[in-house]
Amino acid sequence: MKPFRILQFNMQFGQIWHAHDPDHAPIRLDDTIAEIRSHEADIIHLQEVEHARSDAHQNAENFERLRAALPGYHAHFAFPRPDPRELPFGIGLAIFSRTPLTATFAEDLPSPPIEFNFCGETKTPTDRLLIGARTTVAGREIALLNTHLLAFFMLKTDSRTHPGQRRRIAGHLRAAGTTPTLLTGDFNVRDHVGLAGEFAAEGFTTAQTSAVTWHRMPYVLDHIFYNAPLRCVAAKVVPSLASDHLPVVADFVWA
């Protein structure tokens, strides 16, 4: 069979990367769209699609622009549950597929009540999100999972101390059984070797661990995990200034 391609990309709501002042870099959604389209992927998984609003009344403006710019793709999008504690960062997950999506879902992943300081105020983190769907590739069904986990390392702790979100994801992997499944996302785990080992115990392999996926720090935060019915024939992290994260692209065939 001809390989099919999946793109994993934390798009940071269209904010491009400026190394000298990353937090005040301009938002250029056209650059995001150009980056996404350049990879000609059959399946696209995105995180931080929208810029969170302080009033918790979210809209899907970026998602609608993406959908208009990607004709011929079917799409599934979700926000985490509304929460007035939401900080002004990226929010919302999307799946795009050239083939129809079925059995779509969204699942909130609870965050522990860890206190941290943000602009002089004591805060606790909002919940994270997992979305999923099924589609067909070359006549065979495949399950798609897309997530964005809490960055515990930015709260001066780690997900080994607070493993709840990782365990929820591992539970989905365990439940996949022999169903061909792709899990991608921004896992926000500095110890990518430990994360890969945990998911390997559920029968999943990450497409790459050698290339850094985040401009801000030399971490491998973004992954494409797959199970035994699939074989990865190519994978790369792509140099890009369209976000503070780098796109990850992988090509698969049936094993």
The per-residue pLDDT for range 26-43, each reduced to its tens digit, is: 999 999 999 999 999 999
Return the minimum-mean-pLDDT range out of 3-12, 98-107, 109-118, 172-181. Answer: 109-118
pLDDT of 156 = 83
> Using 50, 70 and 90 to split pLDDT, how confident is the model at 115?
confident
% of the chain residues with pLDDT over 90: 83
Cα separation of the two ends of the chain: 10
For residues 54-69, give the mean pLDDT.
Answer: 88
For residues 7-25, give the mean pLDDT.
Answer: 97
* Per-domain boundaries in the chain: 4-254
pLDDT of 86 = 76
How far is residue 172's CA from residue 145's CA, in Å, rounded to a whole number? Answer: 9
CATH annotation of 4-254: 3.60.10.10
> Using 50, 70 and 90 to split pLDDT, how confident is the model at 157?
confident
CB-CB contact of 148 with 93 (8 Å): yes
pLDDT of 228 = 98
**Position 66 pLDDT exceeds 80:** yes
pLDDT of 56 = 62
pLDDT of 54 = 66
Return the minimum-mean-pLDDT range out of 3-12, 75-84, 119-128, 189-198. Answer: 119-128
pLDDT of 89 = 82
Q: What is the mean pLDDT of the chain?
A: 95
3-state DSSP assignment of residue 109? strand
Neighbours of 34 (CB within 10 A): 12
Q: What is the pTM of this model?
A: 0.96
